[in-house]
Structure 1
Amino acid sequence: MEFINSLNFNHSFIKDIVRIDYSADMPLQCINDYGYSYIMFRFGDFEAYDYKNNPIEIPKIFVKGTGDFFNVKAYKNSTWISVELPNHSLHNITRLIAKKSRNKLIDLYDYVDASILDRLYYEIYENKTVEAITQTLDKHLYTFYSAWNCDLDSTVMVNYIYSRKGLLSVSELSEKFPYGERSIERMFSREVGSSPYRFIRLVRFNFIIRELEKAEYTKFEDLIERYNYYDHSHFEKDFKKFLGQSITTYKNDFNPLLSSALKRAYCKI
């Protein structure tokens, strides 16, 4: 498996780009949620299963927002290109209620002219570097960027949650921003795809799991305390919620896809 990305990636709209080429069949691997939206390109044979182990149909180009973890099995000579976008992009592209679209791989052909996507799909496959992929995306989709990247009411709150590493409460959001908790709840359901409480937990988990992956902490207890977990069992609950497995299983599991993803910078506001 070749994992192609750029540590110094910078773009006015796109947060990150990853290309994964599979030179051999790979077993099921867990992919967790980061709270961003994505446009993804599938080339070759894959199997995908949601957090309840139900099979998911994979369009050749699809958009996905925040949701639960899912598992992917890749076959030899397949390629996966992932284009990470701001959280608000899913709602801007589809105008769907984001929470009702969670865990769905939404066919981008329903929202962009097929002639554009057909040319993009076949051209981008030949791009072997992040720079080339970016140039191809800009060439075919640039006219959509302004609408897809339009800030929503939730955008500033989402960015604030990232900046705080998820170390805050929903009540703190209503104190800092001019919205009541019920308004924030409705806003997140429509635009973000998650309750504000779950999104805060998700962001916090993504920060702490990267520190766990680096293994640079002195004591595990100090790490979970720094991220406001009450104790080990409290952290274990988030592990099972966002990765579907125990901490022990995670440490013993063979998942190069997840390990490679966790090496990338997480907060990209």
Structure 2
Amino acid sequence: MNKLIIFCVMIALVYSSHISIPYEFWHCGTESVKKQAKEMAETSCSNYTIALNHCCAVHDDCYTRQDGKDNCDAQFCDCFEKNSDEICKNEFTTLACAAVEIFGLPAYSAAAKREPRNKKILISPGLEALDTKYRQLYDVCPGNVITISSCAFAYNLCANGTNTNICRENLANCLEAINSTNTKCVRLLKFISDSLRLENVIVVVSDIVDEDALDIDFMKTQKNSNRENDDAAQLFVVLIIFGMVLFVICAGINNFDEENQGIIPADIAPRAIVVNPNKY
């Protein structure tokens, strides 16, 4: 029972906003008051409807197994108590608990003979790898079919969000909280729960590997970028030095030209032609 309370509290935290549950998946109340119970819960307990609905699913299965009316009702009221605030308690859960305790005997007696309310509720979570195994739960856990379906329903709602790791963990907790004395049922529940957690580990490891790969790629890119920057810097320095040398050479040539402007070496200067008039 403690596991059930923990699970319901967790899903109450996950679904902290109003969610309207389809009528066929609503488990609180007998057929005559089911609609009114749904409306009251969604009005007064909008942040807790998923958790409260799961409490009702567990209570239905407890009646089906004939685990004792007082025992089933005590678990039900405890589950409601742990998953409601003051407004919810005052306007719905306290009343629902009292109604079950006072008027629940006919429902408890009829539960021993009934089939699941609606075959449509026997759904599986959207997990392709575990779909076949999950559907087998309905055959090997006949006393928990409504709870198993409620676990799948809660998962499918959760999986519409972004963090499916939390959804898988919640589903594993939900299945582990199921009360069964059937050995095959217990084994299959454990197998699916362990598989869900293993998948979470694989996802986490995969994410870590991907992050490491990104880090390595980034380091390589950064290293290549640094290498390119170093090469560019070296080339820039060489060009500066070359420019300075060229400047010095050019400056020296200019100075040399200025200092020696108009001076022509004697060995290459044209000689003046002297005309001797006496010769003619």
Q: TM-score, normalised by structure 1?
A: 0.25
Higher relative contact order (CA 8 A, sep 6+): 1
Q: TM-score, normalised by structure 2?
A: 0.24
Q: Please say which structure displays the higher CA radius of gyration.
A: 2
| Higher strand proportion (structure 1 or 2) | 1
